[in-house]
Amino acid sequence: MNILVINCGSSSLKFQLINSESEKVLAKGICERIGIDGRLTYQAAGSEKTKTEKDMPSHTEAIQYVIEALTDNETGVIKSLDEIGAVGHRLVHGGEKFASSVIITEEVKKAVEECNELAPLHNPANLIGVNACEKLMPGTPMAAVFDTAFHQTMPEKAYMYGLPYEYYEKYKVRRYGFHGTSHSFVSKRAAELTGRPYDATKTIVCHLGNGASVCAVKNGKSIDTSMGLTPLEGLVMGTRSGDIDPAILEFIAKKENLDIEGLMNMLNKKSGVQGISGLSSDFRDLTDASLAGDKRAKIALEVFSYRVAKYIGSYVAAMNGVDVIAFTAGIGENDELVRAAVCSYLGYLGIEFDEDANNTRGQEIELSKPGSKVRVFVIPTNEELAIARETEALIK
Ligand code: AMP
């Protein structure tokens, strides 16, 4: 079966057409600047990438262009829409309503809408993608795969904040966690690589991308993760602060004359390694600058790795041990210096770190030497494939 995987943002829409039997990507691309002007980047497997300016007043036109490209006589990989068996949509926030992926119905859409205020930037955009697909592909089954669902196994002691309980009761203020599809995919793969049963393995997944989170997966279930009600909590990220003393907000608001919107903008867009370095949120820029002697770039990189190592330590405590640690996403897969820095704190776990193996990028590889008490891997994440697998399982 061919499955169209859609990741829809407010002005962009990423897609991949994946064959579920071979797990090969038949074609992929992105529509950008939707609602502004519009650009389609499209690549069929084995062909060159093409970029075309297209008029995209809304997501419906964007999906229409995607369908046209996929079925085009020259660039296409399928003859007609009938060859798409299902659509898998990435949805960011499923709140407490969704502990797993589901087939999309009117009821499901309503329930997702009720989670909108928990992810006001993402969920409404995700739903626009669902509606646009339904309009153009009536009758094709669609699945919703939530970023939060994998973490619904967290126990109360992990998800409750030290806040008045009524905020949980009235507004569902609690920790949810994100990147669930990636944490699930990578932790499963980690168990496979070690030859251990998934339901008897303690794994810590470090999803280190522009957004970054760490997850403790005990016996196949997420028992804790570093992001919270929103993706702002936890690690120091590209432009997000992660954990801070909440009293800083009042202090800075008064000093800088900022309102709540200004504060949130600062925390989400002007903080993290970008804020510390004053230079860039991209780790390649920071590494270059740090090697050239830039002090703030060096501090930013050290703060980032130190925070990751502290979270790993806390999850070792939460699981009473760890069998595997996995690095994934843009930084985790590609930045050998960050991986080495994080692992430099983990000698107490009996990790024997293989510096030579670490000098590789973007590949699945073991970073621990034979005999290491805890095994360490780089496992490239593949959220689209995970969504396609979930979608197929639901359809079947
Ligand atoms: P992601 O959000 O998973 O796409 O990760 C994006 C981030 O990965 C970028 O902002 C970079 O900081 C980082 N990244 C990507 N490629 C490299 C690389 N070759 N070396 C270091 N960092 C990289």
Residue 305 C-alpha to ligand 1 middle, in angstroms? 14
What is the pLDDT, as a whole number, of residue 120?
Answer: 86
% of the chain residues with pLDDT over 70:
100
* 323 flagged as catalytic: no
- Interatomic CA distance for residues 202 and 217, integer angstroms: 6
Give me the mean pLDDT over the 266-275 stretch: 97
What is the pLDDT, as a whole number, of residue 106?
Answer: 96
327 lines ligand 1 (CB under 6 A): no
pLDDT bin (cut points 50, 70, 90) of residue 10 is confident
Residue 283 has pLDDT above 90, yes or no: yes
Contact indicator for 144, 112 with CB cutoff of 8 Å: yes
Q: Return the domain boundaries, the chain.
A: 2-146, 196-383
pTM of the model: 0.95
Does 284 carry a binding-site annotation? yes
The number of beta carbons lying within 10 Å of the beta carbon of residue 231 is 25
Amino acid at 220: G
Q: What is the pLDDT of residues 45-75, one digit of tens each?
A: 999 999 999 999 999 999 999 999 999 999 9
The long-range contacts involving 102-108, CB below 8 angstroms and separated by at least 24 positions, are 102/143, 102/144, 102/394, 103/141, 103/142, 103/143, 103/144, 103/394, 103/395, 104/130, 104/134, 104/142, 104/143, 104/144, 108/144
Right CATH for 2-146 from 3.30.2350.10, 3.30.420.40, 3.40.225.10, 3.40.30.10: 3.30.420.40
Q: What is the pLDDT of residues 210-226, one digit of tens each?
A: 999 999 999 999 999 99
- Interatomic CA distance for residues 28 and 52, integer angstroms: 14
Residue 256 makes CB contacts below 8 A (sequence gap 6+) with 262
Beta-bridge mates of residue 291: none
pLDDT bin (cut points 50, 70, 90) of residue 138 is very high
pLDDT bin (cut points 50, 70, 90) of residue 337 is very high
Residue 121 has pLDDT above 90, yes or no: no
Same fold for the domain at 2-146 and the one at 196-383? yes
- Domain 196-383 adopts which CATH fold? Nucleotidyltransferase; domain 5 (3.30.420)
Residue 208 C-alpha to ligand 1 middle, in angstroms? 8
